[in-house]
Structure 1
Amino acid sequence: MPTPQGAPKPSSAQGRVEQLLSITKDIMHTENRIRNARLLNLVIALAVIFGPLALLILTIITIATSGTIDMGRINLSALPVVAISGIICGIAVSHRSEVQQLSVTDLRLKLSLLREQRRLKAADMTLDSRYARSAYKEEILRDVEDFRKQSRYYRRVHNIFQSIIIVGSLATTTVSGIALDSSPLGFVVIATSFMVGLAAGFTGYFKYRERGFYLQQTADAITQEWTAAELAIFRYKNLPEGEQLALFVEEAERLKSEQRKREQSLDQPSGQSRDAGNAG
């Protein structure tokens, strides 16, 4: 009798493991869809912006140099570039409508739900601490990699805007020094001044440098905690494996919570952020 009664347990456990693996497969598939969706959106954005921007620049230059420079050949040579930009945009939009039924925001929400579903499913299973440790390691390392990617993105945007500010400021000073009041170079001075002001405004408002710094700091801190837990050093020294995992989870969640508070603080105006910091 004990054997027949105990028989369903392995199959039940095996079924739960298969469900867990199926959820993991869905997570990987959704992550791939998010990457493809972001790439398509980037291509569409570049195509949509580049075509009209090229036409606007050519129009301004043609008007500014009217009667002095013949822009006919340049305009004719630029038309194929604008046409190709439109074709790429059309193909990208068509491809997105075929393969991307959900927006990036919807896909990220679906990914979060799948990860939470996998976490709950793993919690229902009777697993030893080593498997739980490995599962949390996968999750936390994924979070760390996301922090690093976002940090690189914000640093890259900050560097681009800073380059625009530096080059634009020098160009404005140089061109304004050699341009006359009636010179077509006056348009260049206006354009570069606008670009410098726009870049400075975006940099000051969105605080890309601070966002990248805090994300990198959080990623480094979580990585340091994980290394200490793996090597059983510092606060994890001479602790049982279960207590090490519990302490690491607590510290990792604390660091992630602090990162969310920093992001919320950066999203507030400077005055409110300072008042919130003083109140804390």
Structure 2
Amino acid sequence: MAVFLIIATIVQLYLEFSIDSPWKDRKKPVRTLRLDLELAEERRILEARRLTPPALERQASYRERLPVETARLRDESRHYRRLHLLMQWLLFVSSAAISAVTAWYDPPQPAKGVLICLGFIVTIVTAAAGYFKPRERAFNLQQTADSIEQHITALELGISPYNDLEDRVNMEGFAATVEGLRAEQRMREQQLDQPQQGQQQVI
């Protein structure tokens, strides 16, 4: 072990002080280093521009990725719709159970714990439904997915507003419209995340 450490130390010292050592400071001026860095950055930008496909190809690739986006929107919409239904059923069952337990026990003393639990569930579910608004989120997501799908179908069939003779014009309008729909969806989500007073001010 000691022999190995001695050999490693000798090799490291040789590399440190050899003429062609990669760690040796070559005393390059800062101005030269900056110039080299700027040239490397220019070469990187030129290479990126050379490798960037034309706008029509990028728009076509964007259109091919949209089915995944619409599927994601539909999945999220389904999730919020199920959450809303679960909350509604919890409210129905808990509210009905409160009345049933109150009517069943004439002196409600033995059922106080059950009534407290059911009242707690009703309060929590009502507050959560009012705060998270799963029904509104599900509706907005489904509406955005349907709108994007409608524009995809119009583009594929070549009908209005994508009935121009040039594909470039159609793809440009399609990409702009879909991005507008997605921006509108994000704005609606932000409005739902705001407190009620903030939403009224935004509206």
Structures share fold, TM-score greater than 0.5: yes
Aligned residues: 156
Partner of 2:120: 194
Moved over 3 A (4+): 121-129, 131-134, 180-183
Match of 2:188 among 245, 248, 262: 262
2:108 equivalent to 1:203: no
2:110 equivalent to 1:148: no
Residue 124 of structure 1 aligns with an amino acid whose one-letter code is L
2:194 equivalent to 1:250: no
Against the structure 1 CA distance between its residues 132 and 168, is the aligned structure 2 distance closer, same or farther, given a 3 Å change threshold? same
Which gives a bigger RCO, structure 1 or 2 (Cα 8 Å, sep 6+)?
2
Against the structure 1 CA distance between its residues 126 and 201, is the aligned structure 2 distance closer, same or farther, given a 3 Å change threshold? closer
Partner of 1:139: 65
2:172 equivalent to 1:237: no
Against the structure 1 CA distance between its residues 226 and 123, is the aligned structure 2 distance closer, same or farther, given a 3 Å change threshold? farther
- Greater helix percent: which structure? 1
Report the Cα offset of residue 123 of structure 1. Answer: 9.1
Partner of 1:76: none
Match of 2:143 among 217, 236, 241: 217
Residue 140 of structure 2 aligns with an amino acid whose one-letter code is Y
Residue 175 of structure 2 aligns with an amino acid whose one-letter code is V
Report the Cα offset of residue 187 of structure 1. Answer: 1.4
For residues 222-249 of structure 1, the C-alpha deviation after alignment (integer angstroms, 9 at most, x for no partner) is: 1001110111101111331111110000
Identity of aligned residues (%): 35
Report the Cα offset of residue 185 of structure 1. Answer: 2.2
Partner of 1:124: 51
Partner of 1:102: none
Q: Take 1:272 and 1:246, find their aligned partners in 2: how far apart are those partners?
A: 35
In angstroms, what is the RMSD of aligned CA positions? 2.1
Against the structure 1 CA distance between its residues 123 and 192, is the aligned structure 2 distance closer, same or farther, given a 3 Å change threshold? farther
Against the structure 1 CA distance between its residues 249 and 179, is the aligned structure 2 distance closer, same or farther, given a 3 Å change threshold? same
Q: Take 1:123 and 1:199, find their aligned partners in 2: how far apart are those partners?
A: 56
Match of 2:101 among 169, 172, 175: 175
Report the Cα offset of residue 133 of structure 1. Answer: 4.7
2:198 equivalent to 1:272: yes
Larger Rg: 2
* Contact 1:180–1:186 (Cα < 8 Å) also in 2: no
* Contact 2:59–2:172 (Cα < 8 Å) also in 1: no
Matches within 5 A, 1:17-166: 124-126=51-53, 129=56, 131-166=57-92
* Contact 1:179–1:186 (Cα < 8 Å) also in 2: no
